[in-house]
């Protein structure tokens, strides 16, 4: 057997060497865990859609870069009026959609109006809420007037939900997406893979890959052999679990632990006894040992957080010390709140390992201070229905993966049931502020308020465990937005 293997291996090596001498590879198979329900990023919250089409197939006026920065995309440049209410975008010229039709200001107007229309099914409709009118001044100029100044407007236009689509093809994008990006849609074998090919008429720098395939591999046990056999060359988010150490020690692969926008929380029902008492929430915060929770979260990676903000963001403040791990103090606070003997509550856990496994660690830590948690595993659909929609819960572990979403704490009737006028005030000021330095200060204040109020147990930033062939260059290490941008990916010669 050994000799058979080395003969086959030798032949494979020869073959590989032969092709490598000719040219670098130009095809790539990327493994993804979830299959997208369809391929229209403007009609669903499913991250699985953006993880295929964002920046590859579809583009917006702006785009989010690999470090979370706002970059020009279909808008070459823009001017903002002094009152911060009028944005004049200068569009790129010579851009065509994949079906050959030309891109111009009317497409931008159509896309933005469609997303904010009354019967729109856009999952992030609030991104467009500030828009008052959209006007196509000439084919290469679009003027967007806001109802009030909005500091995050350019960032909002970089979301996958704000990509520009053509009126003629918009309705068919779910099955046959037509965008302006450097890759074209080639085919979708349902349940199996989505294939893209290089767009030879692309307006910008051509991509190095000729073909890219996103292959759906939902099972961790299947992902490892797929990687080891070379069938799949990259997993931007590897469901590796315990097998990660095996891959890390293999020189054929690169393993990069990056950051996501996923703040993982012990979400707390602030409107319900006894959690409506701040002393109880502070006690919970003191009872949580983040290092232990991260060690038990399924991947063993993650950055501790003390508020609802990504450590990768420049406005981040480290607030993990606000209520440091101190079980004695937690017990004292519980006694002060009138729960000297602790109390019983439920902990609803959705399916991802960080929740199911991390949640068990949380439950054992809270037991140390006298809070007995009954663990109730729920499916996604149940979680959304019971916890998120009907607030029928005490505690739950969940990662909030939308980027820059601290404003959810200002929402009325959100599932945290948190209501602090001071925080809402900060968010309102932030919305109306465009000056970057002032915005950073406001973000910092906001982080401190929710940390001190101990709204939720702030656990850790969800890691992005990326694994790919060591010869592959240009993959994103972090995921500042839900995307697998392949535009700069190439095989090293």
Partner 1 sequence: MIAYLIKRIAIGLVTLAVASAVVFCVLEIVPGDPALLMLGMNAEPEALAALRDEMGLNQPVLLRYVDWVSGMMVGDFGRSYTYSSPVIDLIAERVLVSLPLALMALFLSTAIALPVGIFSAARRGKAADTMVMGAAQVGVAIPNFWFALLLIYLFAVWLRLVPAGGFPGWGAGVWPAVKALIMPAVALALPQAAILARVTRSAMLEVLGEDYIRTARAKGMPRRIVLWHHALRNALIPVLTILGLQFAFLLAGTIIIENVFYLPGLGRLVFQAITQRDLIVVEGVMMLLVATVVLVNILVDIGYAIVDPRLRTRR
Interface residue list for partner 1 (CB under 8 A): 4-5, 8, 12, 35, 37-38, 44-46, 118-126, 174-175, 189-193, 215-219, 221-222, 225-226, 228-231, 379-382, 384-386, 388-389, 400, 402, 405
CB 29 to partner 1: min, Å: 9
CB 34 to partner 1: min, Å: 9
CB 413 to partner 1: min, Å: 10
In a 10 Å sphere around its CB, with 0-12 CB exposed, 13-18 middle and 19+ buried, how is residue 130 labelled? buried
Cβ nearer to partner 1, comparing 242 with 385? 385
Cβ nearer to partner 1, comparing 123 with 332? 123
CB 129 to partner 1: min, Å: 9
For residue 331 the two structure tokens come to 């017990």
CB 273 to partner 1: min, Å: 25
Cβ nearer to partner 1, comparing 324 with 390? 390
Cβ nearer to partner 1, comparing 305 with 378? 378
Cβ nearer to partner 1, comparing 201 with 405? 405
Cβ nearer to partner 1, comparing 337 with 384? 384
CB 229 to partner 1: min, Å: 4
Cβ nearer to partner 1, comparing 136 with 226? 226
Cβ nearer to partner 1, comparing 267 with 487? 267
CB 192 to partner 1: min, Å: 4
Cβ nearer to partner 1, comparing 81 with 390? 390
CB 119 to partner 1: min, Å: 5
CB 492 to partner 1: min, Å: 22
One-letter-per-residue 3-state SS of the chain: CHHHHHHHHHHHHHHHHHHHHHCCCCEEEEEECCCCCCCCCCCCCCHHHHHHHECCCECCCEEECCCCCEEECCEEEEEECCCCCEEEEEECCCCECCCCCECCHHHHHHHHHHHHCCCCCCCCHHHHCCEEEEEEEECCEEEEEECCCCCCHHHHCCCHHHCCCCCCCHHHCCCCCCCCCCEEEEEEECCCEEEEEECCCCCCCCCCCCEEEEEECCCHHHHHHHHHCCCCCEECCCCCHHHHHHHHCCCCEEEEEEEEEEEEEEEECCCCCCCCCHHHHHHHHHHCCHHHHHHCCCCCCCEECCCCCCCCCCCCCCCCCCCCCCHHHHHHHHHHCCCCCCEEEEEEECCCHHHHHHHHHHHHHHHHCCEEEEEEECCHHHHHHHHHHCCCCCEEEEEECCCCCHHHHHCCCCCCCCCCHHHHHHHHHHHCCCCHHHHHHHHHHHHHHHHHCCCCEEEEEEEEEEEEECCEECCCCCECCCCCCCCCCEECC
Cβ nearer to partner 1, comparing 113 with 135? 113
CB 218 to partner 1: min, Å: 6
């Amino acid at each position: 057997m050994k000799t058979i293997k080395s003969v086959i291996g030798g032949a494979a090596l020869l073959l590989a060497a032969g092709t490598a001498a000719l040219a670098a590879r130009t095809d790539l198979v990327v493994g993804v865990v979830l299959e997208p329900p369809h391929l229209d990023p403007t009609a669903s919250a499913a991250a699985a859609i953006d993880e295929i089409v964002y920046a590859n197939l579809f583009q917006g006026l702006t785009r989010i870069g690999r470090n979370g920065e706002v970059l020009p995309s279909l808008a070459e440049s823009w001017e903002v009026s002094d009152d911060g209410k009028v944005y004049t975008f200068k569009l790129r010229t010579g851009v065509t959609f994949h079906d050959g039709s030309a891109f111009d200001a009317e497409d931008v107007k159509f896309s933005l109006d469609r997303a904010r229309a009354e019967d729109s099914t856009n999952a992030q409709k609030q991104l467009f809420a500030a828009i008052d009118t959209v006007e196509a001044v000439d084919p290469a100029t679009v003027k967007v007037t806001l109802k009030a100044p909005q500091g995050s407007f350019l960032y909002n236009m970089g979301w996958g939900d704000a990509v520009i689509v053509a009126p003629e093809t918009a309705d068919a994008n779910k099955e046959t997406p037509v965008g302006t990006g450097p890759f074209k849609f080639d085919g979708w074998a349902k349940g199996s893979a989505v294939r893209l090919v290089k767009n030879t008429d692309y307006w910008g720098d051509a991509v190095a890959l000729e073909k890219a395939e996103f292959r759906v591999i939902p099972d961790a046990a299947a992902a490892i052999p797929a990687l080891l056999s070379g069938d799949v060359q990259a997993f931007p988010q590897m469901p590796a679990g315990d097998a990660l150490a095996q891959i890390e020690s293999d020189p054929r692969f690169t393993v990069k632990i990056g950051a996501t926008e996923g703040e993982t929380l012990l979400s707390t029902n602030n409107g319900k006894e006894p959690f409506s008492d701040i002393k109880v929430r502070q006690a919970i915060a003191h009872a949580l040992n983040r290092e232990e929770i991260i060690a038990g979260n399924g991947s063993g990676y993650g950055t501790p957080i003390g508020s609802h903000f990504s450590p990768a963001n420049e406005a981040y403040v480290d607030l993990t010390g606000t209520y440091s791990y101190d079980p004695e103090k937690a017990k004292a606070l519980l006694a002060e709140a009138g729960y000297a003997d602790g109390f019983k509550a439920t902990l609803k856990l959705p399916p991802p390992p960080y929740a199911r496994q991390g949640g068990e660690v949380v439950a054992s830590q809270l037991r140390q201070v006298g809070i007995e948690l009954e663990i109730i595993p729920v499916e996604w659909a149940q979680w959304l229905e019971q916890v998120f929609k009907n607030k029928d819960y005490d505690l739950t572990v969940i990662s909030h993966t939308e980027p820059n979403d601290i404003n959810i704490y200002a929402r009325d009737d959100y599932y945290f049931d948190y209501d602090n006028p001071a925080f809402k005030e900060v968010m309102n000021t932030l919305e109306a502020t465009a000056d970057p330095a002032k915005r950073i200060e406001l973000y910092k204040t906001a982080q401190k308020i929710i940390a001190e109020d101990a709204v939720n147990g702030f656990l850790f930033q969800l890691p992005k465990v990326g694994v790919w062939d060591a010869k592959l260059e240009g993959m994103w290490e972090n995921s500042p937005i839900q995307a697998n941008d392949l535009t700069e990916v190439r095989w090293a010669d």
